[in-house]
Amino acid sequence: MKSFLTTLTLSLALAAPALAQPAKHVVLISIDGFRPDFYREAKWPTPNLQRMAAQGTSADGVRGVFPSVTYPSHTTLVTGVAPAQHGIYYNSPFEP
C-alpha cells in the first residue's frame, strides 16, 4: 500500500506542471482556389487576412489543387498528396 501511495503521489506531482500550461489554439483559414498571392495584391484589399498573416504564420508555398473544391483541397492539405493519388475529386464520396 505504501508503494502505491508513493507512486500515486509522484505521478500527480509530475503531471501537475503539464496541466498548468495554457492551451494553444490554431486557426486555419482555407478558401478554395485562393492562392497566397491573391490576398497580397494591392488591387484586392484584404486587410484582415493580411493582418492575421503578419501577426501569425502563413503558408506561402501552398499550391492549389484541381479541382478547386473543398473536399479534395482539404484532403490534399491533410495528406500532402494530389487528388490523383488520394482519389477524391468531388465534394461527395464516390461509392462504386
Q: Which residues are catalytic?
A: 70
Tell me the Cα Rg of the chain: 22
What number of other Cβ atoms are within 10 A of residue 9's Cβ? Answer: 10
Helix (H) and strand (E) counts in the chain: 5, 0
